Amino acid sequence: MTPPNKPIALTRFLIEAQRAGHITADLRLLIEVVARACKAISHAVNRGALGGVLGDAGTGNIQGEAQKKLDVLSNEILIEANEWGGHLAGFASEEEDDFVEVPNAYPKGRYLLLFDPLDGSSNIDVNISVGTIFSVLQCADGIDKLEARHFLQPGSKQVAAGYTTYGPSTMLVLTVGHGTHAFTLDRELGSFLLTQRDMKIPEDTKEFAINMSNQRHWFPPMQKYVAELLEGKTGPRGKDFNMRWVASMVADVHRILTRGGIFIYPRDRREPDKPGKLRLMYEANPMSFIVEQAGGAATDGMRRIMDIQPDKLHQRVAVFLGSKNEVEVATRYHREAGGP
């Protein structure tokens, strides 16, 4: 028996989850491999200028965003680590134009791995926390040829989701549908140790996270909601709110998992055809699964994010997530207005 207070390693946590029937052996292996890849990314992020990994890659992704060297490197690390293990049918990544099939040289498995290899890339060169976000779906049986439509499943079908934050400590936060659990990387041992079982997001909060510089572009329900937060104690909400915005979704969500809050990236007038900035499959769905498993909520202002049927891989979505009661208030304002 492990003595009390001695944290258990991710490996043991996953074996116990398998014994409890929460995950298959293949999914356990997949999560182990993703965690190993994240350790390699953590190492590269940590080396920073010493590793020559800072700065622009000089390329762009399909979404028209300039890629940083670490965006490209993290993407390569995740694909190389996972392609040969036999547990995957394919990948989809924020940094790839299309989905990626497992090369024919390797056996194919039954899972699909989707990821944002490096989240918060505007923070890389300024030594502020960044992260990796991932989502695992099951691939339909008996497929001859993998197609994009096999990935287009609502978030409610995810069998696992997680993120790593490369901050003062490197942490892995994981759900396989039985609570949300946090692991801290012990650099001396080289393993992730369970440091918080069953994270719980407080239902109420006095803290919000939004990029206020976009305020003039927001639609009326967002204007009304945030204006009321800013009115504080003497306004309709009857309490003072604090604001935080790291501009790394992983870091903002990690704070919310730790002490509550609401994270918002709304749709706005800058590009009215785009429903927000964040990506449904690589960012919003995995974070929604993690947040809901910790007792929080996640909507696009109107609907539960995990109920959205995606129609393309790089689809964007408005995101309201965090403390349940606060997400309900913000969502109600949008529903009452008939949409953003």
Does 59 bind ligand AHG (CB under 6 A)? Our answer is no
Contact 185, 42 (CB under 8 A): yes
Contact 172, 10 (CB under 8 A): yes
Nearest Cα neighbor of 147 from 159, 155, 139 is 139
Question: How many chain residues are in contact with ligand AHG, going by CB under 6 A?
Answer: 12
What DSSP designation does 65 have? P
Answer for which of 116, 207, 252, 292 binds Mn ion (CB under 5 A) is: 116
Does 120 bind ligand AHG (CB under 6 A)? Our answer is yes
Rounded to a whole number of angstroms, the minimum distance from the CB of residue 204 to Mn ion is: 27
Contact 201, 324 (CB under 8 A): yes
The interface with ligand AHG within residues 245-264 (CB under 6 A) comprises: 247-249
The mark string for 266-285 relative to ligand AHG (x by CB under 6 A, - otherwise) is -----------x--------
Which range of residues in 103-111, 117-125, 159-167, 303-311 is near ligand AHG by CB under 6 A?
117-125
Nearest Cα neighbor of 113 from 73, 145, 86 is 86
Answer for which of 31, 91, 92, 119 binds Mn ion (CB under 5 A) is: 119
Angle between helices 324-336 and 220-231 (to 10 degrees): 140
Answer for which of 46, 59, 122, 127 binds ligand AHG (CB under 6 A) is: 122
Rounded to a whole number of angstroms, the minimum distance from the CB of residue 104 to Mn ion is: 28
Across the strands, what pairs with 172?
A: 164, 183
Nearer to ligand AHG, 70 or 139 (CB): 70
Does 95 bind ligand AHG (CB under 6 A)? Our answer is no
Tokens linked to 229: 């937060």
Does 127 bind ligand AHG (CB under 6 A)? Our answer is no
The alpha carbon dihedral of 134, 140, 142, 148 has a sign of: negative
What DSSP designation does 228 have? H
Nearer to ligand AHG, 23 or 95 (CB): 95
Rounded to a whole number of angstroms, the minimum distance from the CB of residue 249 to ligand AHG is: 3
Nearest Cα neighbor of 213 from 251, 270, 259 is 270
Which range of residues in 34-42, 89-97, 168-176, 216-224 is near Mn ion by CB under 5 A?
89-97
Rounded Cα distance between 243 and 294, Å, is: 22
Across the strands, what pairs with 34?
A: none
Answer for which of 59, 127, 211, 242 binds ligand AHG (CB under 6 A) is: 211
Contacted entry of Mn ion, ligand AHG, none for residue 334, CB cut-off 5 to 8 Å set by kind:
none
Contact 5, 186 (CB under 8 A): no
Nearer to ligand AHG, 13 or 208 (CB): 208
Which range of residues in 96-104, 119-127, 150-158, 298-306 is near ligand AHG by CB under 6 A?
119-127
Neighbours of 324 (CB within 10 A): 21
**Binding residues for ligand AHG, per CB under 6 A?**
65, 94, 116, 119-122, 211, 247-249, 277
